[in-house]
Amino acid sequence: MILTGIGTVLADDPALNVRIEGASRQPRRVLLDSALRAPPGARMFAREGEALVLTAAGDVPARAALAARGVLLHSLPPAPGGGLELRAVLGYLASLDANEVWVEAGARLAGAFLAAGLVDELVLYVAPSLLGVQARPLAELDSPAGLADRLQLEYRSVERIGPDLRIIAVPRVPAAQAG
- Predicted confidence at residue 81, as pLDDT, reads 87
DSSP result, 129-144: ----TTSPPS---PPP
- Predicted confidence at residue 179, as pLDDT, reads 47
Q: Tell me how far the alpha carbon of residue 141 is from its chain's centroid.
A: 15
Encode 116-142: b = buried (16+ Cβ within 10 Å), e = exposed.
Answer: eeebeebeeeeeeeeeeeeeeeebeee
- Predicted confidence at residue 35, as pLDDT, reads 94
Q: Residue type for 57, please?
A: A
Residue 67 zone, left/alpha/beta (φ > 0; ψ -120 to 50; rest): alpha
Sequential pLDDT tens for the chain (179 residues)? 999 999 999 999 999 988 887 777 888 999 999 999 999 999 999 988 899 999 999 878 899 999 999 999 999 999 998 899 999 999 999 999 999 999 999 999 999 999 999 999 999 999 999 999 999 999 999 998 999 889 999 999 999 999 999 999 999 876 445 44
**β-bridge mates for residue 75, sequence order:** 55
- Predicted confidence at residue 176, as pLDDT, reads 47
- Predicted confidence at residue 25, as pLDDT, reads 80
Helix, strand, coil % in the chain, rounded to nearest 5: 25, 25, 50
CATH superfamily name and code, 1-119:
Dihydrofolate Reductase, subunit A (3.40.430.10)
Domain spans in the chain, listed from the N-terminal domain onward: 1-119, 120-179
Which residues make Cβ contacts (< 8 Å) with residue 90, sequence separation at least 6? 101, 118
Helices (H) and strands (E) in the chain, counts: 5, 8
Q: Residue type for 36, please?
A: L
